[in-house]
Chain A
């Protein structure tokens, strides 16, 4: 009897363990099935590198290059803002801040991570968008830049906490060694602590970027959603994620448009997968 109970529990746990993998595979297969159908009407090359996205014109033009550029531009901008600030913040927390300030900062960072993206988007729409508009004298503040700034806030908690962890796990002996050679605190951080934790910090950056590229709600609210090729960071753009979210509701099931949106999903899936794998590689290199 007891053996049977053990057996059942063991198998149940096994099923739970396999479930996550099973669902990922299932989702991916579903994506593939729905998404690849688009290639009956448009070639993969034309789909990825076509410059026009007019899904409901006749005939439909399904080039997602503007969307890819939109995503990359917003992500790049967010990365440029959030990496130096995030890593700087991590260095301050791990190495410089007195214990009390450290606790306050860490709590603040956690709080930042807890803000729902729709709220962040809403706040950005009310405050940041008019600011960008008036500072750069633009016809509209709904631009890639606004999206980048807002997304930088979303990437920051991930970057700070993972990078801080990486810095914290640098052996104390490195720090002692550098100080004993007469290095200043800053020289120790710059020449020893950061190089020693570089793979962890790269992982932090990748995870932060992964968060940004998959983000939908906030970007949809503040980037203007114009599916045109962006020529600067001060124009409206539309990201891959926002396109799916905005158009899925109105696409006719089984139409080219519908299949194209799934194909965008595949592209996104591949991008985040690649980013996560890279981050993982860095993390493993560290251990």
Chain B
């Protein structure tokens, strides 16, 4: 069994605050791994290690190793542009750019591509929108501002914008927290379809969502990865008392 992403003794500090404590884990390709835990447990921080988004915050210090395809991405020499092209992220609040729908999707192609052919762009837009099941709804209004879409459409568009640059890994930071239950169900369905092509890691505070959608689950508490395993096992027969307490709703 080969892991797509491996963390070895990963530690992270925000100034003096120890946010990730000695995390050892392995994420498999073509599976959905959920990271659950109460607010402030470090789950978003961990996700943001994988595409080095924490670099944007002043005073962050990281230790240990994070191997993606056997390359340590914490090395100072890592090409962040290439890393982020390969490891894409979907945010909690849908954040399409204030451009047209079309421009949003080809954004990645425009910043990474050198020779851009109009037909190829059209093709990318169509394929990406089809992948997120938005093509039929939006094909006639590709030039409309993306900010006019509904929240769910915006979030799907953000996913389309991401898969247009053909990443390997999709990081999703509570992607459904602003959506209503129906929209959430549809986005979860989309995730299941996408996992054939991508390694998906989803951070969520919604335990039902983790149970529904994920193959593996990690439970974090106060910066520690308390438990990590197959979702069935973590939810039905947790090994750690703290996991059981959280899952049965005793705190969090």
Contacts and interface: CB of A to CB of B under 8 A. Distances in A.
Asked if A and B bind, the verdict is yes
Interface of A: 171, 173-174, 176-184, 187, 191-192, 195-196
Interface of B: 51, 53, 56, 80-85, 88-89, 91, 93, 95-99, 107-108, 110-112, 158, 161-162, 165
B149 to A, nearest CB: 15
Contacts of B162: 181
B95 A181 contact: no
Given A180-B53, A181-B107, A195-B97, 6 more contacts: A173-B91, A173-B93, A177-B97, A181-B88, A181-B165, A182-B108
Contact of A184 (B81, B83, B98): B81
B228 to A, nearest CB: 25
- The secondary-structure label for the interface of chain A is helix
Contacts of B88: 180-181
Contacts of B95: 171, 173-174, 176-177
B56 A176 contact: yes
Contact of B108 (A176, A181, A196): A181
A178 B98 contact: no
A183 B97 CA distance: 13
A195 B107 CA distance: 13
B53 A183 contact: no
Nearest to A190: B111
6 contacts: A176-B53, A182-B81, A182-B108, A191-B107, A196-B97, A196-B98
A183 B83 CA distance: 11
Given A191-B110, A195-B98, A182 B165 contact: yes
3 closest Cβ contacts across the A-B interface?
A173-B95, A182-B84, A182-B85
Interface centre among B89, B111, B161 (most CB of A within 10 A): B111
Contacts of A179: 53, 56, 84
A183 B85 CA distance: 9
Contacts of A171: 95
Contacts of A183: 81, 107, 111
Contacts of B81: 182-184
Contacts of A192: 97
